[in-house]
Chain A
Amino acid sequence: MATPRDISALNRWRLLAALAIGAAVLAGGCASAPTHSELTTSRADVLWLNRMTYGVNTQILADYQRRGRTDWLDSQLTGRDAVLAPDIASQINLLDVVHADAAQLLAASNAEYKRINALADGPEKEQARKTLNERGNALAYQAARRDLLRAIYSPAQLQEQLAWFWLNHFNVAQSKGSIRWLIGDYEEHAIRPHVLGRFRDLVMATLTHPAMLQYLDNAQNAVNHINENYARELMELHTLGVAAGYTQNDVQNLARILTGVGINAGGPQPQLRPAWQGLYRRNGAFEFNPARHDFSSKMLLGHTIRGQGFAEVEQAADILVHEPACAKFISRKLAVYFVADEPPPALVERMAATFSRTDGDIAAVLRVMFAAPEFSASLGGKFKDPMHFVVSALRLGYDTRPILNTHPVANWLNALAEPLYGHQTPDGYALTEAGWASSGQMSRRFEIARAMASPNAGLFEPEDGSIAGSAGFPQLSNRIYFAAVEPLLSQRTRNSLDATTSQQEWNTLLLSSPEFNYR
Chain B
Amino acid sequence: MTAKARRHSGISMQRRELLRLAAAFPALTVAGRLFAAPTSPARFLLVFLRGGYDCANFLIPYASSDYYEARPRIAIARPDASAPTGALALDAEWALAPAAREALAPLYEQHQLAFVPFAGTDDLSRSHFETQDSIELGEPSQGQHDFGSGFMGRLVQVLGSSGPIAFTDALPLTFKGGADIPNVSLKGIGKAAFDARQASLLSGMYAEHHLESAVADGLELRQEVALAMADEMRAANRGAINTKGFALEAERMGKLMRDQYRLGFVDVGGWDTHVNEGGAKGALANNLDNLSRGLMSFSQAMGEQWRDTVVVVVSEFGRTFRENGNSGTDHGHGSVYWVLGGAISGGRVAGEQIAVGRATLFQDRDYPVLNDYRAVLGGLFRPIWGLSSGQLERVFPQVRPLDLKLV
Which A residues lie at the B interface, using CB under 8 A? Answer: 217, 220-222, 224-229, 232, 236-237, 242-243, 248, 251, 417, 424-425, 427, 430, 434-444, 446-447, 450, 490, 492-493, 495-496, 499-500, 505, 508-509, 512-514
Contacts and interface: CB of A to CB of B under 8 A. Distances in A.
B169 A514 contact: no
Interface string B176-211: 100011111100000001100010011011111101
A228 B326 CA distance: 11
B198 A514 contact: no
B275 A434 contact: no
Contacts of A443: 215, 218-219, 221-222
A435 B170 CA distance: 6
B184 A509 contact: no
A243 B129 CA distance: 12
B217 A425 contact: no
A424 B208 CA distance: 36
B205 A425 contact: no
Interface in B56-112: none
Nearest to A417: B169
B127 interface: yes
Contacts of B229: none
30 contacts: A217-B274, A217-B275, A220-B275, A224-B325, A225-B324, A225-B326, A226-B325, A227-B274, A227-B275, A227-B328, A227-B330, A232-B126, A237-B129, A248-B124, A425-B272, A437-B214, A438-B183, A440-B185, A441-B169, A443-B219, A443-B221, A444-B218, A446-B202, A447-B194, A450-B194, A492-B206, A493-B205, A505-B201, A512-B202, A514-B209
B201 A434 contact: no
A492 B205 CA distance: 5
B199 to A, nearest CB: 9
B169 A248 contact: no
Contact of B130 (A227, A242, A434, A438): A242
B26 interface: no
Nearest to B276: A220
B127 A437 contact: no
A296 B325 CA distance: 18
Contacts of B50: 425
A242 B125 contact: yes
A-B pairs with the 3 shortest C-beta distances?
A: A225-B325, A443-B218, A439-B218
Given A446-B193, A447-B193, A439 B126 contact: no
B211 A492 contact: no
B245 interface: no
Contacts of A450: 193-194
A439 B213 CA distance: 8
Contacts of A424: 269-270
Nearest to B167: A440
A450 B331 CA distance: 43
A71 to B, nearest CB: 35
Contacts of B331: 228, 232
B171 interface: yes
A226 B217 CA distance: 48
A417 B274 contact: no
Contacts of B217: 439
Contact of A439 (B127, B182, B275, B363): B182
Contacts of B326: 217, 220, 225, 227
A509 B325 contact: no
Nearest to B2: A342
A229 B183 contact: no
Contacts of A222: 325
B51 interface: yes
A437 B211 contact: yes
B171 A434 contact: yes
B128 interface: yes
Given A425-B51, A434-B171, A509 B205 contact: yes
Nearest to B125: A242
Interface residues of B, number: 54
Contacts of A225: 324-326
Contacts of A227: 274-275, 324-326, 328, 330
Interface string B217-229: 1110110000000
Nearest to A341: B5
A227 B277 CA distance: 13
A424 B211 CA distance: 28
Nearest to A255: B330
A442 B182 CA distance: 11
A271 B284 CA distance: 36
A140 B221 CA distance: 35
Contacts of A513: 205
A248 B202 contact: no
A440 B204 CA distance: 18
Contacts of B215: 439, 442-443
A86 B1 CA distance: 44
Contacts of A508: 198
Contacts of A514: 205-206, 209, 211
B261 to A, nearest CB: 13
B314 to A, nearest CB: 17
A177 to B, nearest CB: 9
A446 B194 contact: yes
Contacts of B219: 442-443, 446
A438 B125 contact: no
B126 A496 contact: no
Contacts of A434: 170-171, 176
A505 B126 CA distance: 49
Nearest to A225: B325
B397 to A, nearest CB: 22
B182 to A, nearest CB: 5
A496 B202 CA distance: 7
Nearest to A220: B326
A258 B169 CA distance: 36
B170 A441 contact: yes
Nearest to A451: B193
B270 A439 contact: no
A447 B190 CA distance: 11
A485 B181 CA distance: 31
Nearest to B206: A514
A417 B168 CA distance: 11
Nearest to B184: A440
Contacts of A493: 205
A365 B270 CA distance: 36
Contact of A492 (B51, B171, B185, B207): B207
A450 B195 CA distance: 13
Interface string B248-284: 0000000000000000000001101011000000000
A251 B363 CA distance: 15
Contacts of B206: 492, 514
Interface in B311-369: 324-326, 328, 330-331, 363
A387 B275 CA distance: 32
Interface in B141-185: 166, 168-171, 176, 180-185
A499 B202 CA distance: 11
A434 to B, nearest CB: 7
A229 B214 CA distance: 37
B325 A500 contact: no
A496 B324 contact: no
Given A440-B168, A512-B205, 4 more contacts: A439-B183, A496-B201, A496-B204, A509-B202
A221 to B, nearest CB: 7
A355 B265 CA distance: 41
Nearest to A177: B275
A221 B181 CA distance: 43
A442 B212 CA distance: 10
B275 to A, nearest CB: 5
B209 A417 contact: no
Nearest to B50: A425
B214 A442 contact: yes
Contacts of A499: 201
A493 B208 CA distance: 12
Contacts of A226: 324-325
Contacts of A251: 126
